[in-house]
Amino acid sequence: MALDKVIFLDRDGVINRDSPDYIKRWEEFEFLPGSLEALRLLTEAGFHLILITNQSIINRGMVPLEELARTHRRLRQAVAAAGGHIFDIFFCPHRPDEDCACRKPSPGLILQARAQYGIDLGRTIMIGDSGRDIHCGRNAGCGAVILVRTGYKTDVAQRLAAEGVRPDAVEDDLLAAARRILSGPPLPAHRS
Protein backbone atom coordinates (compact mmCIF):
# COMPACT_ATOMS: atom_id res chain seq x y z
CA MET A 1 0.00 0.00 0.00
CA ALA A 2 1.27 3.43 -0.95
CA LEU A 3 1.98 6.14 1.59
CA ASP A 4 -0.78 8.77 1.56
CA LYS A 5 -1.02 12.34 2.91
CA VAL A 6 2.63 13.30 2.41
CA ILE A 7 4.20 16.69 2.96
CA PHE A 8 7.80 17.25 1.91
CA LEU A 9 9.60 19.94 3.90
CA ASP A 10 12.89 21.68 3.49
CA ARG A 11 14.80 21.89 6.78
CA ASP A 12 16.93 25.04 7.06
CA GLY A 13 14.84 28.19 6.77
CA VAL A 14 11.56 26.29 7.21
CA ILE A 15 11.86 24.35 10.48
CA ASN A 16 14.98 26.03 11.86
CA ARG A 17 16.87 29.27 11.28
CA ASP A 18 19.13 29.05 8.26
CA SER A 19 22.60 30.51 8.09
CA PRO A 20 24.87 31.43 5.17
CA ASP A 21 27.58 29.70 7.25
CA TYR A 22 25.55 26.44 7.37
CA ILE A 23 24.12 24.57 10.35
CA LYS A 24 27.03 22.30 11.23
CA ARG A 25 25.96 20.78 14.56
CA TRP A 26 22.94 20.46 16.84
CA GLU A 27 24.18 23.30 19.05
CA GLU A 28 23.69 25.69 16.08
CA PHE A 29 20.17 24.41 15.43
CA GLU A 30 17.42 26.86 16.44
CA PHE A 31 13.76 26.08 15.79
CA LEU A 32 11.85 28.90 14.15
CA PRO A 33 8.91 30.25 16.15
CA GLY A 34 5.81 28.12 15.57
CA SER A 35 7.58 25.36 13.63
CA LEU A 36 7.21 22.71 16.35
CA GLU A 37 3.52 23.53 16.70
CA ALA A 38 3.11 23.30 12.92
CA LEU A 39 4.76 19.87 12.83
CA ARG A 40 2.50 18.71 15.67
CA LEU A 41 -0.67 19.97 13.94
CA LEU A 42 0.26 18.32 10.64
CA THR A 43 1.15 15.06 12.39
CA GLU A 44 -2.14 15.07 14.32
CA ALA A 45 -3.97 15.58 11.01
CA GLY A 46 -2.41 12.36 9.69
CA PHE A 47 0.25 13.77 7.40
CA HIS A 48 3.53 11.93 6.86
CA LEU A 49 6.27 14.55 7.12
CA ILE A 50 9.40 13.90 5.06
CA LEU A 51 12.40 16.22 5.15
CA ILE A 52 14.10 16.93 1.82
CA THR A 53 17.34 18.81 2.49
CA ASN A 54 20.57 19.77 0.73
CA GLN A 55 23.47 19.16 3.11
CA SER A 56 26.61 19.92 1.10
CA ILE A 57 28.46 20.34 4.42
CA ILE A 58 29.20 16.62 4.09
CA ASN A 59 31.05 16.70 0.76
CA ARG A 60 32.55 20.10 1.57
CA GLY A 61 34.33 18.29 4.41
CA MET A 62 32.87 20.64 7.03
CA VAL A 63 30.99 17.99 9.00
CA PRO A 64 31.30 14.20 9.20
CA LEU A 65 28.23 12.14 8.35
CA GLU A 66 27.96 11.06 12.00
CA GLU A 67 27.45 14.69 13.09
CA LEU A 68 24.64 15.20 10.56
CA ALA A 69 23.05 11.95 11.79
CA ARG A 70 23.31 13.24 15.37
CA THR A 71 21.63 16.52 14.41
CA HIS A 72 18.82 14.67 12.65
CA ARG A 73 18.39 12.29 15.59
CA ARG A 74 18.10 15.24 18.00
CA LEU A 75 15.73 17.02 15.60
CA ARG A 76 13.43 14.01 15.49
CA GLN A 77 13.53 13.70 19.28
CA ALA A 78 12.63 17.37 19.78
CA VAL A 79 9.79 17.16 17.26
CA ALA A 80 8.46 13.99 18.95
CA ALA A 81 8.65 15.64 22.38
CA ALA A 82 6.45 18.44 20.98
CA GLY A 83 3.90 15.94 19.65
CA GLY A 84 5.02 15.79 16.02
CA HIS A 85 6.66 13.08 13.94
CA ILE A 86 9.26 13.26 11.18
CA PHE A 87 8.49 10.19 9.11
CA ASP A 88 11.79 10.18 7.20
CA ILE A 89 14.69 12.37 6.13
CA PHE A 90 16.32 12.38 2.70
CA PHE A 91 19.44 14.51 2.22
CA CYS A 92 21.85 15.33 -0.56
CA PRO A 93 25.50 15.43 0.58
CA HIS A 94 26.83 16.82 -2.71
CA ARG A 95 28.36 20.20 -3.49
CA PRO A 96 26.71 22.26 -6.26
CA ASP A 97 29.64 21.55 -8.63
CA GLU A 98 29.14 17.76 -8.38
CA ASP A 99 26.13 17.93 -10.70
CA CYS A 100 24.16 15.16 -8.98
CA ALA A 101 20.51 14.27 -9.50
CA CYS A 102 19.58 14.63 -5.83
CA ARG A 103 20.56 18.23 -5.05
CA LYS A 104 17.58 20.56 -5.13
CA PRO A 105 16.27 21.97 -7.44
CA SER A 106 16.67 18.52 -9.01
CA PRO A 107 13.87 16.22 -7.88
CA GLY A 108 16.08 13.25 -6.97
CA LEU A 109 15.36 13.19 -3.22
CA ILE A 110 11.61 13.33 -3.74
CA LEU A 111 11.87 10.63 -6.41
CA GLN A 112 13.81 8.45 -3.93
CA ALA A 113 11.01 8.89 -1.39
CA ARG A 114 8.42 8.05 -4.04
CA ALA A 115 10.28 4.86 -4.98
CA GLN A 116 10.76 3.82 -1.35
CA TYR A 117 7.20 4.49 -0.18
CA GLY A 118 5.03 4.28 -3.32
CA ILE A 119 3.95 7.92 -3.04
CA ASP A 120 1.55 9.49 -5.54
CA LEU A 121 3.45 12.75 -6.00
CA GLY A 122 0.45 14.50 -7.51
CA ARG A 123 -1.20 14.32 -4.08
CA THR A 124 1.76 15.71 -2.12
CA ILE A 125 2.78 19.16 -0.95
CA MET A 126 6.30 20.61 -0.88
CA ILE A 127 7.07 23.42 1.59
CA GLY A 128 10.28 25.43 1.24
CA ASP A 129 11.86 28.83 1.72
CA SER A 130 13.93 29.05 -1.47
CA GLY A 131 13.59 28.97 -5.21
CA ARG A 132 15.44 25.62 -5.15
CA ASP A 133 12.66 24.13 -3.02
CA ILE A 134 9.85 25.46 -5.19
CA HIS A 135 11.57 24.28 -8.39
CA CYS A 136 12.26 20.88 -6.78
CA GLY A 137 8.58 20.43 -5.92
CA ARG A 138 7.53 21.46 -9.42
CA ASN A 139 10.24 19.30 -11.07
CA ALA A 140 9.10 16.27 -9.05
CA GLY A 141 5.43 16.78 -9.89
CA CYS A 142 4.19 17.59 -6.39
CA GLY A 143 0.53 18.54 -6.36
CA ALA A 144 1.20 21.81 -4.58
CA VAL A 145 4.18 23.91 -3.51
CA ILE A 146 4.19 26.45 -0.70
CA LEU A 147 6.82 29.12 -0.18
CA VAL A 148 7.43 30.33 3.38
CA ARG A 149 9.12 33.66 4.09
CA THR A 150 11.38 32.48 6.92
CA GLY A 151 14.59 31.96 4.96
CA TYR A 152 17.44 34.43 5.14
CA LYS A 153 16.86 35.51 1.52
CA THR A 154 13.94 37.92 1.38
CA ASP A 155 13.33 38.32 -2.36
CA VAL A 156 12.48 34.71 -3.25
CA ALA A 157 8.86 35.34 -4.28
CA GLN A 158 9.89 38.23 -6.54
CA ARG A 159 12.67 36.23 -8.17
CA LEU A 160 10.32 33.29 -8.79
CA ALA A 161 7.72 35.64 -10.29
CA ALA A 162 10.38 37.07 -12.62
CA GLU A 163 11.06 33.48 -13.75
CA GLY A 164 7.35 32.89 -14.33
CA VAL A 165 7.13 30.41 -11.45
CA ARG A 166 4.34 30.81 -8.93
CA PRO A 167 3.98 28.79 -5.74
CA ASP A 168 0.43 27.67 -4.94
CA ALA A 169 0.65 29.68 -1.71
CA VAL A 170 3.08 32.06 -0.01
CA GLU A 171 2.90 32.09 3.78
CA ASP A 172 4.78 33.93 6.51
CA ASP A 173 6.06 30.74 8.20
CA LEU A 174 5.53 27.02 8.62
CA LEU A 175 2.73 27.49 11.14
CA ALA A 176 0.79 29.69 8.71
CA ALA A 177 1.41 27.10 5.97
CA ALA A 178 0.14 24.31 8.23
CA ARG A 179 -2.99 26.31 9.07
CA ARG A 180 -3.53 26.97 5.35
CA ILE A 181 -3.27 23.26 4.59
CA LEU A 182 -5.57 22.28 7.44
CA SER A 183 -8.28 24.91 7.15
CA GLY A 184 -7.72 27.28 4.28
CA PRO A 185 -8.84 27.08 0.69
CA PRO A 186 -7.85 23.71 -0.74
CA LEU A 187 -4.49 23.45 -2.47
CA PRO A 188 -4.28 21.53 -5.76
CA ALA A 189 -2.97 18.41 -3.98
CA HIS A 190 -6.06 18.23 -1.77
CA ARG A 191 -8.90 19.12 -4.12
CA SER A 192 -11.62 16.53 -4.53
Domain annotation covers residue 2: no
Domain that holds residue 123: 11-183
pLDDT of residue 153: 79
pLDDT of residue 188: 74
pLDDT of residue 10: 98
Domain annotation covers residue 96: yes
Residue 1 lies in a domain: no
Name the active-site residue from 12, 18, 129, 173.
Answer: 12
Please check whether residue 189 lies inside any domain of the structure: no
**Residue at 4 is within a domain:** no
Beta bridge partners of 52: 90
What mean pLDDT is predicted for residues 134-142?
Answer: 96
Q: Is residue 104 part of a domain?
A: yes
> Band of the pLDDT at 133, cuts 50, 70, 90?
very high
Residue 71: the pLDDT is 97
Domain count, the chain: 1
10 catalytic? Reply is: yes
Ranges of beta strands (E only) in the chain are 6-9, 48-54, 86-92, 125-128, 144-148, 169-171
DSSP string, 43-72: HHTTPEEEEEEE-TTTTTTSS-HHHHHHHH
pTM of the model: 0.94
Q: Which of 10, 18, 133, 173 is flagged as catalytic? A: 10
Within-domain flag for 116: yes
Residue 189's pLDDT is what?
Answer: 67
* Any domain includes 5: no
Task: Work out the widest C-alpha separation in the chain, in whole angstroms.
Answer: 47
CATH number of the domain bearing residue 91: 3.40.50.1000
